[in-house]
Chains A and B, each alone.
Chain A
Amino acid sequence: MSRYIARRVVASLAIIYIVISLSFFIVRLMPGNAVSALESQLSVQGMTTQQIDAQVNAIYAVTPKAPLWRQYFTYIGHVLEGKLGRSIINQSETVLHIIANALPWTIFIVGTSLIISFVIGIAIGSALAALQHTRAAKAVSFVVSVLSSIPNYLVAIVLLYLLADIHPIFPTGAAYSVNVTVGFNIAFIGSVIVHGVLPIAAYVITSFGVWALGMKGSAVSVLGSEYVRAAESRGLSRRRLTQTYVGRNSMLPQVTTLALSVGFMFGGSIFIETYFSYPGIGYQLDQAINSRDYSVMMGCFILITVAVVVSNFLVDLLYPLVDPRIASPGGARSVADRRAEGTKAMPVGGSTA
């Protein structure tokens, strides 16, 4: 067990390291080198070379004149210390500060959406599996497949159009109203909830179907498996059958998908938060892209990846609790292994029915 955890820790750290390196090389080596762009922009503003170097160093956490390898190590060192540089647009703000302000909102929206859609999806999926071959189940399956094939940003646009602009029931943006005082009070919490409804709805509408169809698929195959028939032949109660024999095993693949969908939802936050002007990581990333604020951009990207790696790691840790085979020596398969089989179940904007 401890070997299993140690391996997951090492793998997670390796991926974080690779992503930090990737973000360095993306900014430095992509066409339209961001650092030289900034340099020429500053020299147009009439700065001296020293001033420019100092400024570039502050923003990108690199020394432009140094050889590439040295820049690389300086950058890695800075990132590990939490120095992600400063925003180009608002140079008094550190990237870390921007991210720290944005992250809780994204976690709030993504976490709430994930829980709601998981619960709804698992319930619907179980019902679909129990009632398979009935007309109602087929109709519900159809609706669910359609909903889960719709790109989430289109749902966001429709929600915005219908419920915020044309019929102004919900606010069109921000995380809470300007009229409330931030703190632990009812007005603030109420405002946060009202502002979160549409973004959360956009996620839930497009993602509960993925859970429902995944759950239905695995429950149907578990229902068809020999050991369920064997348990039935031993006269076990219906409750014992559905909970211990069918339910538990059908949930296993869904737990794996949980980690995968965190990544997907964080990615999708760029669309959803942008449309709802919701001040999370995705919104900051979009703002940074539009203003070519590369240091904020890469900071957001690193953060999104770290969030995904951490959630994968958590699922890896929790998985042995539901499936004891993992902890046994022969059966150590990581989430990545299982996910490869599950990729089919989590395509962008669609899923296999």
Chain B
Amino acid sequence: MSIGRGEPASGAGTSPAAGLARPILEVDNLTVTFGDGPGSVRAVDEVSLAVETGDIYAIVGESGCGKSTLAYALLDIIPPPGRVTSGEVRFKGRSLSQMSRGELNRVRAAEVAMVFQAAMNAFHPVITIGAHVDHTLQAHPEVFASRSEGREYFRYLLNLVRLRPERTWDAYESQLSGGMKQRVAIALALVLKPSVVVLDEPTTALDVLNQRLMIDILADLHRSLGVSIVFVTHDLALVAELAGRVAVMYAGRLVESGTVDEIFASGGRRHPYVTALTAAIPTVVGAVSDVRPIPGEVPNLAQLPPGCRFSPRCALAEPICQEQEPALLQDDRGHLVACHVANRLLGVPSK
């Protein structure tokens, strides 16, 4: 029985600039539009990012900022009426939009797998977990020599996510708890030995104990299977604990991206939204009065403010912020920030 895919990753969370090889997953100037005509909404607006082999990559944002849509776009499963209107997603340098349906289906799950938000609803309610696995194996006969080998690997994965295989196989989703479903969903996503797994809000629906367990399991899987992980979340604590690289989205746009150190280190060049987000996390030891919620609300994507989308809520906003959309500028280490004020303060040269 072969376990794991190839050699383990070349060190979790290593510096992204170190990888000279192509990124395994690239998002290039991607725009996803819902609806058409004047009522249409851009849930993802000209977003670019690159996931290197072995990365743990976090996409952070408040609800409704387009981060789940971005995650769907990574597998080209954007729910209608949404569609990609510009840009593309590349897996190992190949554009998903240029693949045939057959090729795409081979990439899905076998190469890039997804674990959905609310994994509670990720299973067909009237067939067993085992049937889900069999259907998946059947759709990808190239991965394993035989069906039983695939089932055997799924049992191994269930052990990894700390579930009892014999009790899970014949269960219906209604017989599993929320935390168990989430873990089964992860095992199911990994059954075809993908190189990248995308998780949408992996901890949101879980209680604190299960969240802890989930973080341990994900770190474990990353170590023992060498799988690259992309996850979408609004939970900064999870990001700090797990991620190597972080991209922060606000109202459909990327506002900052860098290593987890660059994002969380105090004093660095940061987008005011990210500063405000980190200030809004309550800590166990700190006083509640230290928690500063961000004033105002996330703008409705259908009625965006002119200029910088964060400007109405921003403490540092200047007149230019209401007029001109700030560009996403890179420093020499690859740290990207889209803010007129932050970029000027640190004198980062324009591209």
Chain B residues within an 8 Å CB radius of A234: 108-109, 113, 135-136, 139, 188-189, 192
Chain B residues within an 8 Å CB radius of A323: 126
Contact status A236-B135, CB under 8 Å: yes
* Chain A positions 281 through 309: 1 when the CB is less than 8 Å from some CB of chain B, otherwise 0: 00000000000000000000000000000
Contact status B123-A224, CB under 8 Å: no
Tell me, in angstroms, the Cα distance from A252 to B138 when the chains sit together: 25
Which chain A residues (76-113) contact chain B, with CB distance < 8 Å? Answer: none
Tell me, in angstroms, the Cα distance from A147 to B123 when the chains sit together: 36
The minimal Cβ–Cβ distance linking A188 to chain B, given in whole angstroms, is 44
* Chain B positions 65 through 98: 1 when the CB is less than 8 Å from some CB of chain A, otherwise 0: 0000000100101011100000000000000000
Which chain B residues (122-140) contact chain A, with CB distance < 8 Å? Answer: 122-127, 132, 135-136, 138-140
Tell me, in angstroms, the Cα distance from A236 to B188 when the chains sit together: 13
A225 nearest in chain B by CB position: B121
A-B CB pair tally, cutoff 8 Å: 88
The minimal Cβ–Cβ distance linking B33 to chain A, given in whole angstroms, is 14
A1 at the interface (CB under 8 A from B): no
Contact status B122-A232, CB under 8 Å: no
Chain A residues within an 8 Å CB radius of B81: 133
A331 at the interface (CB under 8 A from B): yes
The minimal Cβ–Cβ distance linking B124 to chain A, given in whole angstroms, is 5
Chain A residues within an 8 Å CB radius of B79: 224, 229
B116 at the interface (CB under 8 A from A): yes
A29 at the interface (CB under 8 A from B): no
* Chain B positions 22 through 55: 1 when the CB is less than 8 Å from some CB of chain A, otherwise 0: 0000000000000000000000000000000000
Which chain A residues (106-164) contact chain B, with CB distance < 8 Å? Answer: 132-133
Supposing A233-B113, A331-B174 touch, asked if A249 and B126 sit within 8 A by C-beta, the answer is yes
The minimal Cβ–Cβ distance linking B264 to chain A, given in whole angstroms, is 31
Contact status B140-A235, CB under 8 Å: yes
Chain A residues within an 8 Å CB radius of B123: 227, 230
Tell me, in angstroms, the Cα distance from A245 to B126 when the chains sit together: 9
Contact status B124-A245, CB under 8 Å: yes
Supposing A229-B116, A230-B122, A237-B139 touch, asked if A244 and B127 sit within 8 A by C-beta, the answer is yes
B105 at the interface (CB under 8 A from A): yes
A337 at the interface (CB under 8 A from B): no
B122 nearest in chain A by CB position: A230
Chain A residues within an 8 Å CB radius of B106: 235
Which chain B residues (289-348) contact chain A, with CB distance < 8 Å? Answer: none
Supposing A229-B116, A235-B110 touch, asked if A244 and B135 sit within 8 A by C-beta, the answer is yes
A322 nearest in chain B by CB position: B126
Chain B residues within an 8 Å CB radius of A32: none
Chain A residues within an 8 Å CB radius of B122: 226-227, 230
Supposing A133-B80, A229-B116 touch, asked if A236 and B121 sit within 8 A by C-beta, the answer is no
* Chain A positions 236 through 249: 1 when the CB is less than 8 Å from some CB of chain B, otherwise 0: 11101000110011
Which chain A residues (295-353) contact chain B, with CB distance < 8 Å? Answer: 322-325, 328, 330-331
Chain B residues within an 8 Å CB radius of A229: 72, 77, 79, 116
Tell me, in angstroms, the Cα distance from A329 to B185 when the chains sit together: 25
B126 interface neighbour in A133, A236, A238, A324, Cβ under 8 Å: A324
A231 at the interface (CB under 8 A from B): yes
A233 interface neighbour in B75, B118, B140, B174, Cβ under 8 Å: B75
Chain A binding site: helix, strand, loop or mixed by DSSP?
helix
Supposing A133-B80, A325-B172 touch, asked if A231 and B72 sit within 8 A by C-beta, the answer is no
The minimal Cβ–Cβ distance linking A234 to chain B, given in whole angstroms, is 4
Tell me, in angstroms, the Cα distance from A252 to B136 when the chains sit together: 23
Contact status A235-B109, CB under 8 Å: yes
B112 nearest in chain A by CB position: A233
Tell me, in angstroms, the Cα distance from A233 to B136 when the chains sit together: 10
B137 nearest in chain A by CB position: A234
Chain B residues within an 8 Å CB radius of A245: 124
B108 interface neighbour in A232, A249, A328, Cβ under 8 Å: A232
B255 at the interface (CB under 8 A from A): no
Tell me, in angstroms, the Cα distance from A323 to B122 when the chains sit together: 17
- Identify 14 new A-B residue pairs, CB closer than 8 A, beyond the known A226-B116, A234-B113: A229-B72, A233-B116, A234-B139, A235-B107, A235-B109, A235-B110, A235-B136, A236-B139, A237-B105, A238-B101, A240-B135, A244-B124, A244-B127, A328-B174
Q: Can you list the 8 inter-chain pairs with the closest CB atoms, starting with the nearest? A: A235-B108, A235-B105, A226-B121, A233-B114, A234-B109, A230-B122, A235-B109, A234-B136
21 chain-A/chain-B pairs, Cβ below 8 angstroms: A133-B81, A226-B116, A227-B124, A229-B79, A230-B123, A231-B132, A233-B108, A233-B113, A233-B114, A233-B189, A234-B188, A234-B189, A236-B105, A237-B139, A240-B138, A244-B127, A244-B135, A249-B124, A249-B125, A324-B126, A325-B125
**Which residues in B have some Cβ–Cβ distance to A below 8 Å?**
72, 75, 77, 79-81, 101, 104-110, 113-114, 116-118, 121-127, 132, 135-136, 138-140, 172, 174-175, 185, 188-189, 192
**Which residues in A have some Cβ–Cβ distance to B below 8 Å?**
132-133, 224-227, 229-238, 240, 244-245, 248-249, 252, 322-325, 328, 330-331
